[in-house]
Amino acid sequence: MGPNISALEKEIGTDRFPPNERYFGLVNFGNTCYSNSVLQALYFCKPFRDRVLEYKAKNKKNKETLLSCLADLFHNIATHKKKVGSIAPKKFITRLRKEKDEFDNYMQQDAHEFLNFLINHINEVILSERPQANNRAKLTSDAGGGDNHSSSGGFEEPTWVHEIFQGILTSETKCLNCETVSSKDEDFFDLQVDIKQNTSITQCLRGFSSTETLCSDNKFKCDNCASYQEAQKCMKVKKLPMILALHLKRFKYMDKINRHVKVSHRVVFPLELRLFHLSDDAVNPDRMYNLVAVVIHCGSGPNRGHYISIVKSHDFWLLFDDDVVDKIDQSTIEDFFGLTSDHQKSSETGYILFYQSRDSSDPKVNSNDCRQNGK
Amino acid sequence: MLNHERVTDDADHCEIMASSVDGAEEEDKLKTQFVIRDGTYKRMTLSEYSRPNRVAYTTNQGNTAVKVSFITLPDPDPSGYPERLCFNTGKELYVFVYKGVKKAADLTKYVDKKIYKGTNPTSHDFNRFTATLDSISLVVGFSTGPIQLFDPIKREEKDFKTFNEHTSIDKSKVTCVRWIPNSKNLFLASYASGHMYLFNQDLPCCISTPSYQILQSGEGYAVYTLKSKSPLNPVHRWVIGHEGSSVNEIAFSPCHSYLAVVSQDGFLRVFNYSTQELVGRARSYYGGFLCVCWSPDSKYVVVGGEDDLITVWRLKDRCVVARGDGHHSWVSVVAFDPFSTQLHSDEDTVQCYRLGSVGQDTQLCLWDITEDVLTQTNVFSVRTKTSNNNNNTTSLNNSTGNGTIKCHNNSNSTINHKDSGDHSTSHVASLTQRLAGFSFGSSDKSKSHDHNHHNNSHSRSSPNSGLSLADSTDPMRLIGTASCPRYDQCPRIEPLIRKKIAHERLTALVFKEDCFVAACQDGYVYTWARPGKISNQNSHLVAGTGSSTVV
C-alpha cells in the first residue's frame, strides 16, 4: 500500500466509503494503459461488472479465455480484503497478447480499438460456450470479428453483451426518383462521432444523423426503380443501448504527413444525455443517460501519450492512472473537454464516453430490453 | 466485427462530410458585421475593452468566465459618459468609463483595477439603487468563496468590506451575486455548493461555523435563518436541489417580485422572493441549466444550458412553451433585447420578443419569439383547459384569452408589488418599466409571511401547472409534463441569425439602446453597434470602414 492509497481512503472518509466497493489501480506492464483505462471504465459500468462477476460465479472450471481472465480480474478486485490498492492484471494481459497479434507487443495501442476488440471477443466467447452452440456460432467465433452475425439477430438469443451495449441504427434512404423510403438496420456496440472545434457531444451526434445526399459516383441502387438513383440517406437510432459508448474520432489521418494526428478540439460533454434524431419506431425514446466513465487520452498522437480514465462511483468521481487512484472534484471534468486553440499539440481529452441508461437498474426495463433483443 | 463495417462506412461519411464542411465554412467564419431584418450590426473595433496591457494569446485563461456589469450614474455626468463597465478576467477586475459606440475605449484610463492573489473574481453587480455621481457600490464574488464590497469611484479603505472572508459560511465558488432590487444593503450570492446566501452589508459575518434554523421549505428547496443572539450574516441561507449541485445563475424579475434560479441539477426554480415560496419550475431536456433571464414584462423566463437549447417558460401557467434549437454547444448566456421587442399598436402587449444568446460554440444567436409561437396550443395547457371547463372546442384565441385573465387573478393574489410604479430607477430600460407597469397592475398586496397562506396559494397553482408529479425530481417522471415536454411536444424555434463573433467561448451578453456588448473567455469585451448607430462621428471606430467614410 503506497502512501497515496491510504490518502484516498482518508479523502473519501472511512465513514463515507461505499460498502462493498473497491478502488484498485491496475499495474502497467509496459504501455498497457490503453487496456487499464478501458478495464476501469468497464468495471464501473455497473451492469457490465455485474454480468462479468455473475459469469465468474457460474463458470468455475472452464478453460481459460479472455473472458475468464477478465472475470478473474474483476472478481479479485471485487472480493479483495482491502478497500483500496493496486492489482496486476498479468493473466489478462498475457491472454490478450495471445488472442490478438496486434496487442502482442509493448507499443501504445488505441484504447478504442481495444474496447471494440474486447466487447466483440467476449461476445464470441459467450456464444461459443453455449451448450446449444451450433457450428455456425463456432464459425463466427473463429472469425474473431468482421463477421456480421449479430445483425441477423433473429436466429440467436442475444448475449448479455448485446443486452448491455447493443443498439440499432437504421439508415433510411429515400430515392429521389420514386420517393420510396427503404431502411436498413444495423447493430452497433458504440457510436463513432466526428468532432468539430467548440461543439458539444450533442452536436457531434447531430452530425451523425444529418441527412446526406447520395449523388454522382455514390448513387443509390433503388430496387423499386431497378437502377442507380440520387437519394437522401439519414442515420437514426432505432434502439438505444443500455450503455451508450461514444467514441470521439480524435485521431485524424493526414495525407501530407502520412500519419494520424491528434485533434484536440474542445468538445463538451454533459453529465446527462438524451438522444435526438431517433427513428419513429424507436424503443424507449425518453431514455436518459448518465455519464459513468470517460477514457481520456493524454498526449499528442495515437502512438504516444497515455490513457487514463475517470469514473463515477456512488456520488463522487475517481481518476484511475494505471496503479494510482485519486478522488477528483466533479468540476475538474471540464479539464478534459479539449483545447480551444490549435497552437498546443498535447492535450488531455475525453476519448471514449460511457453513458449508462438511468433506468438500467430497473429490472422491468431490463426484461423489456431482453424481449426487444429476442424478437 | 460490425464495428468494422461501421468504420468503412464512416470513411465514406467522412469524405462527404468534408465537402459539406467546406460549404459551411462561410458560416463558421469569424464575423465583424452581420445583417438582419433590422439592418446591419457592426463590431466597433476601437470600442473593445480588455486589460490595458494586452498579453500575447495564451490558453491559460483559466476557467473563470468573463462577466460584465454596467451601471448608469443617475445624475447628469459632466463628461457625457454616465455609464461604467466592470469586467473580470483571470485574477483581475477592471472598472472603466464605458463610452459605447460614441468614443474609442481608452484602456490606460481605468476607474479602478484590482489584481487578486490565489483567487479569481467570478461575478459582480453594481447597486443601481444607491449609485450617485461620485459613489457606487460594487459587490464581487470569488472562486474561493469570499465576497467583497467596495466603491470603485471613492476607493476609500473604510468602505471596503469582505464577507465569508474565512470561508466559514461556504467554501465553494461564488457563481452569481445580485443586489436585491431597490435595496441599499442586501445582496444575494449563489454558490457552487448549491446554496444561496442573503447578506446585509451593514452586518458582521458569523465567525464560527454557522448554525441555522429552518424558516421555509418546499419541493426541492429550503430556507434557513442564522441561529444567533445578535443579527449576523448570512441573514438567510437557501438550499437548492440536491446537496452539492451548483446554483449556476440567479435573476430577479424586472417587476422585482420573483427570483429565478437555475442549477446544475437541470432545474429552473422560480420563487416569489418575498414569501420565499416556490412558484414553479422547469427541467432541462438533459444536463444543467447554466443561465437565466426574464422577459422585460416579467411574463417569461428563458434559460439555456447543457442540452444546447434555450427553453422558454411561461410564468402564468408554469409551462415550458417553446425551445430554441440553434447553438452547437452549451448556452452560456441568454438575454432579452427590450429595445428590439415589438409591441402591438396599443403599446400594451408584446407582439414579438427579441432574445439573444451566446454559448461555448463562440456563436451569437438572435431569436424572435413571436406571439404565434407563444399562443400555440400547448398539450399541457389544453389538458388544463379541459379539466376546468370541459369545453374542447374553445378556439385558440379564446382559450389563451381565458388563460390570461384567469392567471392574472391567480398571480396577483400571491405577488407583492412593492415596487411597481416606482420610477425613481431611471437607469432601468423604459420599456421594461412600461411593461412591468401594465402587466402586473397595481394590486399592492401587503407583505405577508403567513405560511398557511403560501401553502394555500401553492396548492392552488399546482393543478394548473401540470405539477402533479412535482413530488419527484426524477427526470424520467418529469418528461412529458409541463416542466419538461418531450422534444416534439413543444414548439421549436430557430434563430433569426447564428453568427460566430469570437474565437473563444462567449461568456456575457448585454443589450443596450444603441449597441449590444458581448464578452469572451479570453478577456475581451466587444461592442456591436446597432443598425443606424454608426455616423460620421463614430465610423472610425469600426474596422475597415475608414476608407469609405470621410471623417
C-alpha cell at B392: 374542447
Helix ranges (DSSP H) in B298-450? 371-374, 379-389, 396-414, 430-439
**Residue in chain B lying closest to A112 (CA):** B3
Instruction: Give the nearest partner residue to B486 out of A146, A149, A286, using CB atoms.
Output: A286
Contacts of residue B198, defined as CB under 8 A and 6 or more positions apart, other chains included, come to B180, B186, B187, B188, B234, B235, B236, B237, B238
Q: Measure the CA–CA gap between B270 and B277, rounded to whole angstroms.
A: 9
Q: Please report, rounded to a whole number, the percentage of residues in chain B having pLDDT higher than 90.
A: 59
- Residues in CB range of A3: below 8 A, 6 or more apart: none
User: Which pLDDT value is given to residue A134?
Assistant: 53
**Do A95 and A69 contact (CB within 8 A), yes or no?**
yes
Long-range CB contacts (within 8 A, 24+) of A129-138? A129/A59, A129/A62
CB contact under 8 A, A198 and B505: yes
**Which of A191, A268, A278, A335 is the best mutation test for B, with the most CBs of B within 10 A?**
A268
Question: In chain B, what are the domains?
Answer: 246-498 (2.130.10)
Q: How far is CA A280 from CA A176, A237, B488, in A?
A: 21, 9, 11
- Calculate the alpha carbon distances from A219 to A236, B3, B6, B13 in Å: 20, 24, 19, 14
Contact (CB<8Å) B3/A218: no
Q: What is the pLDDT of residue B3?
A: 37
Helix (H, G, I), strand (E, B) or coil at A251: strand
Residues of A involved in catalysis: 33, 306
Distance from CA of B509 to the nearest CA of A (A): 18
Q: Could you report the average pLDDT of every consecutive run of 10 residues in chain A (375 residues)? A: 67 88 94 95 97 92 90 96 94 93 82 96 93 53 42 67 95 90 92 94 88 85 89 91 96 87 94 91 90 95 88 95 95 94 83 91 42 37
A151: nearest CB among B2, B192, B360: B2
Q: Which helix (H) or strand (E) holds A21?
A: none
* Band (B27; pLDDT cuts 50, 70, 90): low
In this prediction the pTM is 0.84
Q: Provide the shortest C-alpha distance from residue B494 to chain A (in Å).
A: 15
Characterize the bridge pairing of strands B492-493 and B319-325.
parallel
What is the pLDDT, as a whole number, of residue B247? Answer: 98
- Which residues have CB under 8 Å from B72's CB, separation 6+? B82, B83, B84, B131, B426, B427
Q: What is B199-262 written as a DSSP string?
A: EETTSPBP-S---EEEEEEETTEEEEEE--SS--B-SEEEEESSTT--EEEEEE-TTSSEEEEE
C-beta atoms of A358 and B63 within 8 A: no
B535 three-state secondary structure: coil
With a cut of 50, say whether residue B63 has pLDDT above it: yes
CA distance between the termini of chain B: 69
pLDDT at B281: 95
Distant-in-sequence, close-in-space partners of B536: CB < 8 Å, separation ≥ 6? B549, B550, B551
Judging contacts by C-beta atoms under 8 Å, the chain B residues touching residue A278 are none
Spatial CA neighbour of A253 closest among A290, A207, A301, A293: A301
Residue found under cell 471485487: A78
- Torsion angles phi and psi, residue B182, rounded to 5: 60, 30
B186-215 in b/e form (b: 16+ CB < 10 A) is bbbbbbbbbbbbbbbbebebbeeebebeee
Domain map (residue ranges) of chain A: 18-374
ipTM passes above 0.90:
no
Render pLDDT for B368-420 as a digit per residue (tens, 0 to 9).
999 989 887 666 654 443 333 333 333 333 333 333 333 333 333 333 333 33
Distance CA B116, CA B170 (A): 19
Nearest to B153, CA basis, from B130, B179, B176, B123: B130
A/B interface, count of CB pairs below 8 Å: 117
Which residues of chain A are within 8 Å of residue B475 when distances are taken between CB atoms?
Answer: 272, 288, 358
**CB B265 within 8 Å of CB B288:** yes
| 3-class secondary structure per residue, B309-333 | EEEEEECCCCEEEEEEECCCCCEEE
Q: How far apart are CA B403 and CA B319, in angstroms?
A: 12
Residue range B178-235, pLDDT digits in tens = 999 999 999 999 999 999 999 999 999 988 889 999 999 999 999 999 998 899 999 9
- Tell me: cis bond preceding B234? Omega within 30 of 0 counts: yes
Q: Do B503 and A196 touch (CB under 8 A)?
A: no
Nearest CA to CA, how far is A71 from chain B (Å)? 22
Average pLDDT taken over every residue of chain A: 86
Q: Which three cell numbers stand for residue B75?
A: 445624475
Q: Tell me the backbone φ, ψ of residue A143, rounded to 5 degrees.
A: -65, -30
Q: Is B361 on the interface with A (CB under 8 A)?
A: yes
Shortest distance between the Cα of B119 and any Cα of chain A, in A, equals 16
Fold of the domain built from segment(s) A18-374 = Cathepsin B; Chain A (3.90.70)
d(CA A204, CA A338): 14
Condensed to tens digits (0 to 9), the pLDDT of residues B144-159 reads 999 999 999 998 888 8
Distance from CA of A70 to the nearest CA of B (A): 20
- Chain A residues whose CB is inside 8 A of the B17 CB are 194, 207
Cell of A239: 434502439
Burial zone of B301 (CB within 10 Å; 0-12 exposed, 13-18 middle, 19+ buried):
buried
**From CA A307, how far away is CA A111, in angstroms rounded?**
8
Question: Any chain A CB within 8 A of the CB of B1?
Answer: yes
Q: Mean of the per-residue pLDDT values for chain B?
A: 80
C-alpha cell at A139: 464459425
A66-78 and A111-129 helices cross at what angle (nearest 10)?
100
| Selected residue with higher pLDDT from B469 and B336 | B336
Among A147, A315, A359, select the one facing B476 at the smallest CB separation: A359
Instruction: Give residue B377's pLDDT.
Output: 66
